[in-house]
Amino acid sequence: MNLTQRPRRLRISSAMRDLVRETELSPRDFVYPIFVVPGEQIKEEIPSMPGCFHYSVDQVAGLAREIAARGIPAVEVFGLPAYKDEIGSSAWDMTSPVQRAITAIKGAVPELLVVGDVCLCQYTSHGHCGELHDHYVDNDATLPHLVKTAVSQARAGADIVAPSDMMDGRVAAIRAGLDAEGYVNTSIMSYAVKYASGYYGPFRDAADSTPAFGDRRQYQMDPANVREALKEAALDMAEGADIIMVKPALAYLDVVRQVYEVTDRPIAVYNVSGEYAMVKAAAANGWIDEQRIVLETLTSMKRAGAKIIITYHAMDAAAWLSA
């Protein structure tokens, strides 16, 4: 037996494993999603997402300080509006919770990066991501609404806008709209590769964005496709996307890797609500070691090629990594 090569030598102790570790996970990799709602003095746990809450705008400054204190560099703001209509006009209303929360966060912690989610599903009365014509989401009619939403978020103080609607051509339209209003330094993090996934269920509870009819398969991607993902990423890069996202993360790490191999842009992944809720449920039943599973899962995303990890685990994971 030839045992000249003994890989176990480099696993012999914690110090040795730390020395040779290939992938390092850090709180600086995380973006923490938050949900803002109309009203005051509200902090209510989301039933399907234990440990995540709906916050009224008056609560977000304190939350932002806590997030920054954990070493997390960014938040993504989602919101429930005070009103809904057919075109989702509350999405670009400067008095809506998202715009007010962005301003409050930047006022409280200027160095914290704020990402605005640019979509219409939680703002429309029908729950779809754009303007409808005969139960069909009209791509081109939706683009001006997305531009107005992105510009309103930039005006509120967002550092990054993140179109998650999957309309064709929206990155180019948003880039042109931002530049025309003088927001040339506002970045676009495109949900370039967003699959029509079953992992979004708890989020739709959190954001009150379940479609009133049908589903989103006419505009979100088929989970069976990967070459299409490369096409979507290439199109969004050509249109001016600064960051390319793959969503969901865990069931699509092969896609993350393939996108990573063909782009020079930073790759973001969204560790979505269903992935989070499954871990929380298993941990609550004592079936898994939550800390170990979460850190292993997040490390797998970074190992696959993600530089940015949007995750509801961010606060806990940051504390565990800093312990």
Report DSSP letters for 79-137, one per residue.
E--S--BSS-GGGG-TTSHHHHHHHHHHHH-TTSEEEEEE-STTTBTT--SS-EETTEE
302 catalytic per annotation: no
- Per the DSSP assignment, residues forming a β-bridge with 36 are 55, 79
Q: Is 216 assigned a ligand-binding role in the annotation?
A: yes
Judge whether 190 and 268 are in contact, CB under 8 Å: no
Q: Is 227 a known ligand-binding residue?
A: no
Cα distance between residue 20 and residue 206, in whole Å: 41
Q: 52 labelled as ligand-binding?
A: no
Residue 9, annotated as binding a ligand: no
- Report which residue type is found at 246: V
CA distances from 144 to 129, 243, 248, 284 (A): 13, 22, 26, 44
State which amino acid sits at residue 108.
A
21 is in an annotated binding site: no
Which entry of 84, 194, 280, 302 is annotated as an active-site residue?
194
Cis peptide before 47 (omega within 30 of 0): no
Instruction: Give burial (CB, 10 Å; 0-12/13-18/19+) of 1.
Output: exposed
Active site residue 247: yes
Residue of 300, 288, 302, 298 lying closest to 320 (CA atoms): 298
Q: Which of 84, 148, 247, 302 is catalytic?
A: 247
Instruction: Give binding residues as ranges.
Output: 119, 121, 129, 204, 216, 232, 273, 312
Instruction: Give binding residues for Zn(2+) as ranges.
Output: 119, 121, 129
Instruction: Give binding residues for Mg(2+) as ranges.
Output: 232
Instruction: Give binding residues for 5-aminolevulinate as ranges.
Output: 204, 216, 273, 312
Give me the active site residues, please.
194, 247
